Structure 1
Amino acid sequence: MNIGRKLGFFTAFILPAWVLLGYTWGGWGNFVTLLHVFILLPLIDQSVGVDTQNVPEEKAKVISNEFYYRFVTYVWTWFQLAFIGWGIYAVTFGKISTPIEWIGFTLSFALVTGGIGITVAHELGHKKSSIERFYSKILLMTVSYMHFYIEHNKGHHVHVATPEDPATARKNETFYAFWVRSVFGGYVHAWKIENERLRRKNKSPLSLQNNMIWFAVLPVLFCAAITFGLSIYADYFTWQVPAFFFGQSFLAFSLLELVNYVEHYGIQRKEIAQGRYERVTPIHSWNASHLISNFFLFQLQRHSDHHANAIKRYQVLNHYDESPQLPAGYPTMIIIALVPPLWFSMMNKRLEKWHSANDLQTA
């Protein structure tokens, strides 16, 4: 892989740079990151176009094992921890004071911690090494969505494109209805998965070996410790810390659910027997191979290959022509998803074409 493509994955750091710049400008300047993500980036994305180039099979193993690509994700993990610390300082002692500044800063901040941070956590959480999985949990703690580590790997990837998966949107289901089902259904399902794991080991679900207990408590403890320390330092209760931390967390995981909605809208696997479905292949997720937004998102948009080969590293994910293709990258599609009539108008025709090609009845 050439040096330009390697450096492309560092473009993710452009987003926090915009947040810092917007904070420096103050006022409405705090919205500049949203303008970049939802106006400038889609325009560049569409003008540069789709990249269907794949890493040659004979080079894939070597490139997959290159430390450079892991290094980028490791750097992001430590950066996000520092970024969270700076964000807390900014809202507690810095220039963030008016409602407009709070709204713009928190929305922009969540585009970083949710749009990039959860994407990196997603990548690391699929890997076998203990350090990568640890970093995944750290990133998810910073957005109060640690159960995703269990539900995504052991729930979503098993049940994707079936009625059993809360994170697969149904045809004609709005994002808002999907959000409720995916957020609460996924959380409940993560508890079920973890409880069953412990029962198989003859352990009590109420023991400290239950990861879901830790995943529920750790973000609260993290926020409480910072709030306590800063309250002592400032000699008053720093309410800004929990307000900001949980506010950006809510927006970050809601952005994740928007991405889930876009990635799997209406796709179904064939049921080959009662409760059994065909194997997941690259035709069972929406794909987007737009070059620029894939740099920002560590090729998450090549989601079709990810679900067919979940262990593959982001730098060697393939484009498949036979996968259902989104008309634009995620920055564009998630805005459209917020407007259900527009979304249905754009996506249902594509979905019906996919159903026809795969001999599935349309609802």
Structure 2
Amino acid sequence: MTSSREKPGWYWLSSTLPASAIVAFQYDQPWVYLGCMIAAILVFDAILGEHVAIENQKDDMASTSIAVPVGFICLWLLAVLDSTARIKRVAVMEFVGLTVVSGVLGAFAMAHIHEVMHRDSRWGRRASDIAMTLAGYPHYRLVHELHHAHVGDPQFGSTAPIGLSLWRHVGRSFGNSLTAVLADDRRRLSQGRKRRLSFPVSMWLETVVVFAYLCGPRGLLFYVGQCAISIFVVETIGYIQHYGLVDGGDPVAWNAHSWLSNRLFVNNGLHAHHHLEQTLSYERLKCGTAILPAGYMHMFFLALIPPLWFSIMNHHQKCWRSAIALTSMESKNKRAS
């Protein structure tokens, strides 16, 4: 029997994030929205407990599930347009608030764009490139493909060795992934194939020009600022997902086992299974055995304070590996007997 927590309709909760931002913008309260949103996720992630897998799904559910990420993306675009329309006339603090909120929402949108990107369609990949440009990470699809092909290798971004702080990781990860994409583009060119980086670069430059033309210096500051915030949040999530897993073995990623976070971010927390079957739609993903101590929002703030992060995650990883080694030894003993 299916419980109410397993119903796929709960994934529509994600739409409340950009929808409530639009409402907050109408009342000129971006900072209130940001504080309430963070507090709500922190509290209800803890109260609502662990992820519940949806079993016995209909065969056609994967085709209809695309509506959830597309719905989020559409509402996010409306929120960005609304904030853009306001930036020329608002006070400095509200301008900063709109920039920060747009950057955070852009990072949240990346989880949904990521879902569209992995669907096997040309329009989905092109649409995701355009959406990622607005979110501030135009070449993310190219970066992500290399990440999947070389998971566990810090030279391709996202992965951080034990002891590397978030503050050292973000710039290094972004730089390494960009270098890897440039190298891949040069290799393609030497093989007589087309460059893939040209489109996202041109799209980003055109977007910069449009914001500067429509809104002047504030438009330029707004777009570049929200890009920087979005990239920081996205790279932080990558840090959380792959911290210490530099060998590319099992697991390839940590999983977030929080029910609410996985509903809000289309099961982005079930990251290990995604790496194993990257074309599998989000509602079919299952939670692996390597589980983070808390949800993404809790882990995000923990990562901002390296001593606390190291004290918890280094110990957590050590305990997890010890448990896996013990389980493996017990299995070998059973087979031997």
TM-score, normalised by the number of residues in structure 2: 0.88
Aligned equivalent of 1:106: 99
Aligned equivalent of 1:215: 200
Aligned equivalent of 1:169: 160
Q: Report the more deviating stretch, 284-293 or 350-359.
A: 350-359
What pairs up with 1:171-250 in 2 under 5 angstroms?
Answer: 171-200=162-191, 202-203=192-193, 209-228=194-213, 230=214, 238-250=216-228
Aligned equivalent of 2:91: 97
SS in 2 for 1:33: helix
Aligned equivalent of 1:10: 12
What pairs up with 1:112-151 in 2 under 5 angstroms?
Answer: 112-115=105-108, 117-151=109-143
Contact 2:138–2:200 (Cα < 8 Å) also in 1: yes
What per-residue deviation string (whole Å, max 9, x for no partner) do you get for residues 285-319 of structure 1? Answer: 11112111111101100111111111111111112
Aligned equivalent of 2:82: 86
Aligned equivalent of 2:272: 304
C-alpha distance 161-297 of structure 1, shift in aligned 2 (>3 A): same
Contact 1:38–1:335 (Cα < 8 Å) also in 2: no
* TM-aligned CA deviation for residue 23 of structure 1: 2.7
C-alpha distance 213-6 of structure 1, shift in aligned 2 (>3 A): same
Cα distance in 1 for partners of 2:22, 2:80 equals 12
* TM-aligned CA deviation for residue 90 of structure 1: 1.2
Contact 1:178–1:261 (Cα < 8 Å) also in 2: yes
Corresponding letter in the other structure for 1:168: T
Aligned equivalent of 2:334: none
Cα distance in 1 for partners of 2:323, 2:246 equals 12
Contact 1:19–1:105 (Cα < 8 Å) also in 2: no
What pairs up with 1:49-68 in 2 under 5 angstroms?
Answer: 49-56=49-56, 59=57, 61-64=59-62, 66-67=63-64
Corresponding letter in the other structure for 2:39: I
Contact 2:160–2:243 (Cα < 8 Å) also in 1: yes
* TM-aligned CA deviation for residue 211 of structure 1: 2.2
Cα distance in 2 for partners of 1:108, 1:51 equals 27
Cα distance in 1 for partners of 2:165, 2:43 equals 26
* TM-aligned CA deviation for residue 54 of structure 1: 4.5
TM-score, normalised by the number of residues in structure 1: 0.82
What per-residue deviation string (whole Å, max 9, x for no partner) do you get for residues 260-297 of structure 1? Answer: 0100110133xxxxxxx65xx5x221111211111110
C-alpha distance 140-89 of structure 1, shift in aligned 2 (>3 A): same
Cα distance in 1 for partners of 2:306, 2:183 equals 32
What per-residue deviation string (whole Å, max 9, x for no partner) do you get for residues 139-166 of structure 1? Answer: 111023121110111x111111234432
What per-residue deviation string (whole Å, max 9, x for no partner) do you get for residues 54-103 of structure 1? Answer: 434xx474432x32x1122223333333332222111024xx212x2222
- State the identity as a percent: 22
* TM-aligned CA deviation for residue 185 of structure 1: 1.0
SS in 2 for 1:21: helix
What per-residue deviation string (whole Å, max 9, x for no partner) do you get for residues 198-243 of structure 1? Answer: 333x24xxxxx42212211212202313432x36xxxxxx211111
For structure 1, the 5+ residue unaligned runs are: 204-208, 232-237, 270-276
Aligned equivalent of 1:352: 318
For structure 2, the 5+ residue unaligned runs are: 326-337
C-alpha distance 253-265 of structure 1, shift in aligned 2 (>3 A): same
Contact 2:154–2:173 (Cα < 8 Å) also in 1: no
1:289 to 241, 244, 257: 257
Corresponding letter in the other structure for 1:89: A
Cα distance in 2 for partners of 1:197, 1:127 equals 24
Cα distance in 2 for partners of 1:111, 1:121 equals 14
C-alpha distance 70-2 of structure 1, shift in aligned 2 (>3 A): farther
Cα distance in 1 for partners of 2:179, 2:58 equals 38
C-alpha distance 304-36 of structure 1, shift in aligned 2 (>3 A): farther
